[in-house]
Structure 1
């Protein structure tokens, strides 16, 4: 471009020496017009170059944004796939949870039914004992303790002081107890002897109140067996003076503590094992 301008100037110098002033003036005006056009073209070229650079930069930016959008789109597609899988797995987990809850509800219902049945058996047993034995004597009590039915017999009703020989009246009461036990072959009878805290010092084979309480229990167990109760239904136990009802501080209180309890127990070993097994199973889930 500079070469053209220099060539034009040189030509004007040559021509100015060969042409008239008028022609020179015309050529000079033409040269100025050409220069103006050149300047305009140069400005436009620079502007186009600037626009091209800006367009290239925008293109590069748009290409980068397009690449990011494609990457995000792929990530979104993968995420959607994962979410679909998670949703399906979640549905399966919910279904399993519902099944587990149904099983637990069924087990709890069975346990509640069993407990209700046990309560019904307890009430029926209390009714049967009260009907058979009666409650006219203050020395005879029929109660329920922790869902267990028992008959509490006063010491003076069964034995003489310090003795383990059963009185004739005791045989009458034990005959009624035997009738109830014999009518329920799935029941057991545990005889539990209690004494006051007065030391046993009568000598012989008995050493202390432990011995006396157990010996009284075995005497009653033998009496019940003689009355027809199967021996496998009978249990003998003694508590000595270690479980008093009231303080052993008066003669009246000591008389209250000298007692024999006969627990009437359904053979519920399997029942308790079932409940224990169900509870352990529920706690693990």
Structure 2
């Protein structure tokens, strides 16, 4: 899905030979094109950084689940050792007492890990519930909310968000964005990634080369609206585009294309705070 672009030199020769534009106008066009390329590169870099952070968060959650499984297995092994010790007349009271202490310590850490995970899950469910309740019946048709692996995904249709064939925010999107912005502001310990997605239809818009550009610019429009109109702290926001390469439906149908043309607001707990909770494990007995 690439935009066919003639080399700048060839365009210059054709335009100047036909007397269509002045040298100054051509220079302005070339400057605008260069600025657009630079802006798109910056957006893609920021998007990649946020994707890395999101990947790290998911890895930490998986690691937490593995720790839970390992600790439960450890408790089972300790319990088996204790049972064996109790049934053997050769085991002294000191060894039995040590096994009991180890079992109690492991159980405390398991409960701590469970509490950390439950805290994260509970906060996300409250966030999701509050947002769902704030939306009207009409708004819910264009908004899909899910919680996957500790991350909240809010998917918004392009028909609701943008003016037709544009990356400018539409007037009717204001009410919905204001409600989402309030939730984001209330849950200030969460980071927010705005991710643009398109279908696989080639772009036919001035100064936009392909669906990568379009998806990134649409995400940037939402970020700027959240910052300037709804006062969300820009340090918490990241804009990125995935073009046509993250479909959730078949692009061979109009319905599928409509589903793929979406912008996702991805809300995730800050990784450093999540790890701080895990680090507050019960101290082992000496």
Determine if the alignment matches structure 1 residue 115 to structure 2 residue 117.
yes
- Tell me how many residue pairs correspond in the alignment: 193
Aligned equivalents of 1:128 and 1:98: distance in 2? 44
Determine if the alignment matches structure 1 residue 145 to structure 2 residue 128.
no
Mapped contact 2:143–2:156 kept (Cα < 8 A): yes
> 1:269 maps to which residue?
272
Give the superposition deviation at 1:141.
2.0
Runs of 4+ in 1 over 6 A off after TM superposition: none
Determine if the alignment matches structure 1 residue 172 to structure 2 residue 175.
yes
Mapped contact 1:135–1:141 kept (Cα < 8 A): no
> 2:226 maps to which residue?
224
> 2:186 maps to which residue?
183
TM-score by length of 2: 0.60
Give the superposition deviation at 1:189.
2.1
Q: 1:101 to 1:179 in 2, by over 3 A?
A: same
Aligned equivalents of 2:276 and 2:96: distance in 1? 32
Q: 2:106 aligns with which of 104, 107, 111?
A: 104
- Find the residue that maps to 2:138 and give its secondary structure: coil
Mapped contact 2:167–2:221 kept (Cα < 8 A): yes
Q: Which stretch of the first structure deviates more once superposed, 137-146 or 106-115? A: 137-146
Mapped contact 1:154–1:256 kept (Cα < 8 A): yes
> 1:18 maps to which residue?
none
Mapped contact 1:133–1:177 kept (Cα < 8 A): no
Aligned equivalents of 1:217 and 1:114: distance in 2? 32
Give the superposition deviation at 1:254.
0.5
Mapped contact 2:196–2:242 kept (Cα < 8 A): yes
Determine which structure has greater relative contact order: mean sequence separation of CA pairs < 8 Å that are 6+ residues apart, divided by chain length: 2
After superposition, the C-alpha distances for 1:183-202 in whole angstroms (9 at most, x for unaligned) are: 22222222111100112243
Gaps of 5+ in 1: 1-86, 279-285
Give the superposition deviation at 1:110.
0.5
Aligned equivalents of 1:212 and 1:270: distance in 2? 34
Gaps of 5+ in 2: 1-89, 282-286
After superposition, the C-alpha distances for 1:200-250 in whole angstroms (9 at most, x for unaligned) are: 24341x332122111111110010001111111212122211111111001
Aligned equivalents of 2:268 and 2:127: distance in 1? 10
- Find the residue that maps to 1:111 and give its secondary structure: helix
When the two chains are superposed, the root-mean-square deviation of aligned CA atoms in Å is 2.8
- Pick the structure with greater CA Rg: 1
Give the superposition deviation at 1:102.
2.1
